[in-house]
Structure 1
């Protein structure tokens, strides 16, 4: 755990992933489970007091299992964690992901999300064009970049709720506090052990939620 604590104090850029340490992997999984368990009642109270409603679409159980344990971890890890190791190859994969998501949103009529994906894809093309300059800036300010991605990952989950107003918006970061913590731990797993292990970790984090639906 010392390596994890040292990393979150001052994230450092590295392109060399370590061999997986299953002891640390499952220990972090257990720590995250305990933190989520502790924060669960607080977030539920805030959701009730602020008048938020669950806006997640309802699916039949097999689709929920596929979405939560398979698709969500793959899509979210590629989208939020892949570029924590900033390589041209990863930028091309990221651009491909944006293209596929753009096609999906255009078919399903989600105009706001489509515009956002197009903007991100354009930023990705700019990053490919000015790769050396972008990489230098990210490596120099890697701590900011790492935590920016973690915060964005957490805040994106605000879209899981309806009933957000100007008056209760200030409480939304507390509602997604578990996801903010997940963003940090997922990021550490990705940078330290590789994207495949962050996808696996993400999937395992989602398993208790699926079990609660059975």
Structure 2
């Protein structure tokens, strides 16, 4: 069976969920697992692209998950293992009626049988559980307003899609496969963060006046935090080197403290070298930082 065929089966489930277990081998289940997560990540990228076009509307919303940095292996435990265990137990385990002990307990209490109701309304139930699973992730954000809630289905789009695909794995393959899918999904995101952002150097400016380079830090590193710089008599920067430094601290050091707020928790290495004797003005540096990072006037986010 090809990848396209497996995606077709997943799409048919999403359009009309059912709990008939797929009669496939262990190796075919593995293929469904990896196909489902790959498909999930492709759809998530689509939402990320869509959100990039909505950046003027979403720039104020700060993701609380970016507030703290952890060592890579600790991040694996905290983000890849614990959340799937908790969330899959809550949102996917009870999708099978015989494993929904709350409904079965109510059925026993009222001496009735809800299995027919459950089967008849499974489509709505899957959508409801997946929607709640996605919308719970709204709690990751702060500085919200009414626009945020209007955009909520898009902001949490990746989680909504993931919830549906995890539901497919749970109902068509088994709970363990949903758990593995969630593990793999979160692990893939951490690895993407590691490969794309962590210790990846990029040039912000490199012209006849100045060279400014930054290296992103996505995970806690065993390096000291320090910043050194040299200025011209006029106060312009001749050179600047910040190591393992929070961008917020750098902003507070060079500009009026508490006047600007950096969205999320950008930690980086930064190197600035002026190619002229006059140095590089601090105002020009701020313009460069505003071009590449999301900064707000403090009064805007209070």
Q: What's the TM-score, normalizing by structure 1?
A: 0.74
**Separation in structure 2 between the aligned mates of residue 28 and residue 35 of structure 1, nearest angstrom:** 11
Match of 1:7 among 9, 13, 16: 13
Q: Using a 3 Å threshold, how does the CA distance of structure 1 residues 166 and 5 change in structure 2: closer, same or farther?
A: closer
Q: Bigger CA drift: 142-151 or 161-170?
A: 161-170
Task: List alignment gaps of at least 5 residues for structure 2.
Answer: 1-5, 194-217, 220-302
Listed as ranges, the matches of 1:12-161 within 5 Å are: 12-14=18-20, 19-20=25-26, 21=28, 22-44=30-52, 46=54, 49-50=57-58, 51-56=60-65, 58=68, 60-61=70-71, 62-87=73-98, 90-92=99-101, 126=106, 129-130=109-110, 132-161=112-141
Task: List alignment gaps of at least 5 residues for structure 1.
Answer: 96-122
**Separation in structure 2 between the aligned mates of residue 41 and residue 163 of structure 1, nearest angstrom:** 22
> CA contact under 8 A between 1:28 and 1:185: conserved in structure 2?
yes
Considering fraction of residues, name the structure with more helix: 1
Which residue in 2 is equivalent to 1:109? none
Which residue in 2 is equivalent to 1:108? none
> CA contact under 8 A between 1:35 and 1:178: conserved in structure 2?
yes
Number of aligned residue pairs: 183
Corresponding residue SS for 1:12: coil
> CA contact under 8 A between 1:46 and 1:175: conserved in structure 2?
no
RMSD of equivalent CA atoms: 2.6
> CA contact under 8 A between 2:18 and 2:171: conserved in structure 1?
no
Higher Cα Rg: structure 1 or 2?
2
Is 1:195 aligned with 2:159?
no
Corresponding residue SS for 1:11: coil
Corresponding residue SS for 1:168: helix
Q: What's the TM-score, normalizing by structure 2?
A: 0.54
**Separation in structure 1 between the aligned mates of residue 111 and residue 157 of structure 2, nearest angstrom:** 33
Instruction: Encode CA deviations 1:28-72: one digit per residue, 9 max, x unaligned.
Output: 222112222232233355466232111236253243221211111
